[in-house]
A and B are shown apart, each in its own frame.
Chain A
Amino acid sequence: MSKIHTPAMDKAEQKRQKFQKRRSTPFTDGWRRLKKNKLAMVGLVIIIVYAVIAIFPSLFTSYSYVTQDYTSLFAPLSRDHLFGTDNLGRDIFTRVIYAARASLGISLLSVAVSLFFGGVLGSIAAFYGGKADDIIMRFIDILQSIPGTLLAITLAMALGKTVVSLMLALGISTIPPYAKVVRAAVLTAKDRQFVEVSKCLGANDRWLITRHMIPNSLGPIIVQTTFGIAAAILMISSLSYIGLGIQPPTPEWGSMLSDGKQFLQMGTAWPMTVIPGLAILIVSFALNVLGDGLRDAFDPRLK
């Protein structure tokens, strides 16, 4: 008698082959868990669309963000002007799209700045411990005790109204959470035995930090970075709203809001505030949802 063969076996065999092919690392595993989280995937899709728009704005609109058209001020939504026009007759759709570029670029750069400094300070503090830890973390505590927005405003004022100064202002004022996350992650990784093993094999400190500790603490760092970008985008808009961020004529969601608020009483001017406001809302919502999803995917306790 031959062995019973069922369709389920075929299916299982196919699945098995598929499983064998793919690599399995903590990151591919995390990605697999993330894929199951629908809300996080919605967030990811929004972020990808946002990134594409920010990188290639000219593909989506034929207008220029500075061209003023005095024949159609405060135009309502129409086929020509998808989101209408503002008080100077500029196409709001075009301006919203170009604004994405500025806030994405600056938020990424500012997060890179704070991730770099926070990462270096945090890993040194965790690795060497003792006095180095005390000095660095107390400095971080001092930095954190100053309200972030106030610190960013002060730095932006002091450094001047340029894009670089905005980036630095944001970057420096958000160092503390990165330093704390990296420190905690490296402290966890430090006590694991493979670090001891590597030490026994003659590894130096730099090797231990870069090859063993940081790769093993990337999960929480990625999560923090995602939330950090959301916070940075909000902060850029806040600073631009009060006139310290990106300077006109370059469009920015916060400054567009600020421009629009004086016309709010005119019923027809609502797109000037509502559209950039929605843009800020959607992007920061997407990043936060994605961050939540990443946190769940990388949290070892939920595996």
Chain B
Amino acid sequence: MENLLQIKNLTVHYNMETSVVEAVNDISLDIKRGETLGLVGETGAGKTTTALAIMGLLQKARAEIISGEIFLNGESLLDKSAKAMQKIRGDKVSMIFQDPMTALNPVLTVGEQIAEVVRLHEKCSRAEAAARAKEMLETVGIPSYRYKEYPHQFSGGMKQRVVIAIALACSPDLLIADEPTTALDVTIQAQVLELMKEQIQKRDMSVIMITHDLGVVAEICDKCAVMYAGEIVEYGTVEDVLDYPTHPYTRNLLNSLPSIDGEIKKLQPIEGAVSDPTNLPPYCSFQNRCKECMERCTEGNPKLVEVAPGHWSKCFQHYKESEAEK
């Protein structure tokens, strides 16, 4: 399968008054057509910055793309003009936000807000756009007679359905979902995930699912990338990463989760806090929290190593093995 989205060596910094936040450091990612990638990591790991870089919506005043390239369908997104990016956003690449309560405009009807995307991207009459919007409402499981209702007349889960309808209205190739279920309660989360899964399969879309929730990743993702301090520390299929984690951070992360079948014991939190993103060490940034840390961990920053076919991990532990193999 061809690559829909390619990110090569992307580095993004936020230049603040007295410091520079190293938000994303030299990450590379490929997403194939129809593939769902889970982007997992703590708050501040650079997940949203990566997404905004793809959308071309980084704050111009602060953010600076130091290096890297982003290709969508082989076209470089970073070289596009602002006008060209406007055409791509919503049409080719679309985004779903975390909080449906604030993502909808309170003074427009939900129908108008769905029709808005259609009218922005396709030359069609208001009536045609409205018809499409009604169709989209039905698709996400909302009766079309509610077209003329306002966001505050909907519950949180229904609003998130509307947000999904808006994002899907122009059948984008790539959907970026920034924690789409975080603000919802558990039953509604399940429903919304089910809906997303169904639509993703039906439309053969590629999806970047940004989340803290490994359950969500296990539920709907094909691939999984774990981010830590702006770097991808582990990447592979969901089965590889969740069942056979190789990076110490991923292992610790999974240990800190309760398990349904295992006996209930005390959860193991990861000690310490994420390194200060304005002052990252020149070596492995997880070193200060890592229980398996070795001497050479402070000597340099390891590179991603392929530990198994299609399964990459960024740790010196794997160096020994691969060096031994040599």
A contacts, CB < 8 Å to B: 23-27, 130, 192-194, 196-204, 207, 211-212, 215-216, 218
The distance in angstroms between the C-alpha atoms of A202 and B92, with both chains bound, is 10
Nearest chain-A residue to B166 (Cβ)? A201
Query: Does B117 interact with chain A (Cβ within 8 Å)?
Result: yes
Q: Contacting B108 at CB < 8 Å: which of A196, A204, A215?
A: A215
Contact B116 A200 (CB under 8 A): no
- Return A27 CB to nearest CB of chain B, in Å: 8
The distance in angstroms between the C-alpha atoms of A145 and B323, with both chains bound, is 76
The distance in angstroms between the C-alpha atoms of A199 and B86, with both chains bound, is 8
B26-49 Cβ-contact flags toward A at 8 Å (1 or 0) = 000000000000000000000000
The distance in angstroms between the C-alpha atoms of A198 and B90, with both chains bound, is 9
The distance in angstroms between the C-alpha atoms of A253 and B167, with both chains bound, is 58
- Return B160 CB to nearest CB of chain A, in Å: 12
Chain B residues whose CB sits within 8 angstroms of the CB of A212 once the complex forms = 105
B contacts, CB < 8 Å to A: 55, 57, 61, 86-91, 94-95, 97, 99, 102-108, 116-117, 120-121, 148, 150, 152-153, 163, 166-167
Contact B97 A197 (CB under 8 A): yes
Contact B57 A201 (CB under 8 A): no
Contact A200 B95 (CB under 8 A): yes
The distance in angstroms between the C-alpha atoms of A24 and B154, with both chains bound, is 12
Chain B residues whose CB sits within 8 angstroms of the CB of A207 once the complex forms = 120
Given the known inter-chain contacts A200-B89, A202-B120, please indicate yes or no for A24 contacting B103, CB distance below 8 A. no
Given the known inter-chain contacts A193-B102, A216-B106, please indicate yes or no for A25 contacting B120, CB distance below 8 A. no
Given the known inter-chain contacts A24-B152, A25-B150, A211-B116, please indicate yes or no for A202 contacting B87, CB distance below 8 A. yes
Beyond A24-B150, A202-B117, 12 additional pairs, beta carbon < 8 A:
A24-B152, A194-B105, A197-B103, A198-B105, A201-B90, A202-B88, A202-B90, A203-B90, A207-B120, A211-B105, A211-B108, A215-B105
Contact B86 A192 (CB under 8 A): no
Number of A-B contacts (CB under 8 A): 74
Chain B residues whose CB sits within 8 angstroms of the CB of A24 once the complex forms = 150, 152-153
Pick the most buried of A130, A194, A204, A212: most chain B CB atoms within 10 A of its CB.
A194
- Return A52 CB to nearest CB of chain B, in Å: 30
Chain A residues whose CB sits within 8 angstroms of the CB of B55 once the complex forms = 200
Chain B residues whose CB sits within 8 angstroms of the CB of A194 once the complex forms = 102-106
- Return A32 CB to nearest CB of chain B, in Å: 14
Chain A residues whose CB sits within 8 angstroms of the CB of B106 once the complex forms = 26, 194, 216
Q: Contacting B103 at CB < 8 Å: which of A26, A193, A215, A218?
A: A193
The distance in angstroms between the C-alpha atoms of A211 and B116, with both chains bound, is 10
Given the known inter-chain contacts A24-B153, A193-B99, A203-B86, please indicate yes or no for A198 contacting B116, CB distance below 8 A. yes
Q: Can you report 28 A-B residue pairs in the complex whose CB atoms are below 8 A from each other?
A: A24-B152, A24-B153, A25-B107, A26-B106, A27-B107, A192-B102, A193-B99, A193-B103, A194-B105, A196-B97, A197-B95, A197-B104, A197-B163, A199-B57, A199-B89, A200-B89, A200-B97, A201-B95, A201-B116, A201-B166, A202-B86, A202-B88, A202-B117, A203-B90, A204-B86, A215-B107, A216-B107, A218-B107
- Return A202 CB to nearest CB of chain B, in Å: 4
- Return B132 CB to nearest CB of chain A, in Å: 14
The distance in angstroms between the C-alpha atoms of A202 and B86, with both chains bound, is 4
Chain B residues whose CB sits within 8 angstroms of the CB of A27 once the complex forms = 107
Q: Contacting B117 at CB < 8 Å: which of A192, A201, A218?
A: A201
Nearest chain-B residue to A217 (Cβ)? B107
Pick the most buried of A201, A207, A216: most chain B CB atoms within 10 A of its CB.
A201
Nearest chain-B residue to A26 (Cβ)? B107
